[in-house]
Amino acid sequence: MGLADLHMHTIFSYDGTATVPAVLRRAHELGLNVIAITDHDEIAGALLAVELAPHYGVEVIPGIEITTADGDLLAFFIHEKVDAGLSLVETVLRVRALGGVCVAPHPMAGGMGMKSLSAYSILKALRNPEVADTLIGIEAYNGTSIDRISNHYARILANKLNIAQTGSSDAHILDTIGFGATEFEGKSAKDLLAALRNASTTVRKQKEWSAFRIISSWVMRYVGSAFVRLGWATG
């Protein structure tokens, strides 16, 4: 079985704290076969990770966490940005046109500025056949979500839709990479995509921290990485 973490952030996200090489090194140490770099409305970090990945023994899926008008959306297997602020349907269709697929991250979750898709917005969007062929998964377990009950609701929604379920860390610091993971038959990103399409993935819960530890650890790492992030922001 392969193991993937499909939701994590680097310093290319406004709230990320880890460099791309550090993320790749940590993913390899944890035995992850596949990861997706999904910075907020930015793909530069993901493309850099794809370039560097062979040196670290982990396969990288280029992706983005797109801020749609209806909530956040994970897009995978794309190599250019999709505009933020569009409707969920329009965003999914643009990802489709780029050859990618989508997963709904932390649906129905609140707190800490989370911009999550509602169950209604997902169900409504899936009425469009092209959207249904592209939005192929629900993040049924988010390893660092403060709103823990939302994981339960996400799993119920995924079961109702008979759609692929993913587990991810949503890591914003190195320590939490792999806290949630997705198991799939095979080892490669190609195998993972096939498992997502036939809804055969399973969720693995790695660890859970308290809300206080998640927040305090992020604050410390965010402050500590200020100069590194400033370097990225200024080119």
The predicted model scores a pTM of 0.93
Which helix (H) or strand (E) segment holds residue 17: the answer is none
Per-domain residue ranges of the chain: 2-233
Strands ordered across the beta sheet of 164-168: 164-168, 135-142, 101-104, 71-76, 59-68, 34-37, 2-8, 180-184, 202-205
Identify the architecture of domain 2-233 in CATH. Answer: Alpha-Beta Barrel (3.20)
pLDDT of amino acid 220:
85
Both tokens assigned to 206: 């790695």
Both tokens assigned to 219: 């604050």
**Percentage of residues in the chain with pLDDT exceeding 90?**
83
**Percentage of residues in the chain with pLDDT exceeding 70?**
96
Both tokens assigned to 183: 């198991």
**Angle CA 170–124–4, to nearest 5:** 25
Residue 234 has pLDDT above 90, yes or no: no
| Closest among 53, 100, 104 to 81, alpha carbons compared | 100
Q: What is the mean pLDDT of residues 36-53?
A: 97
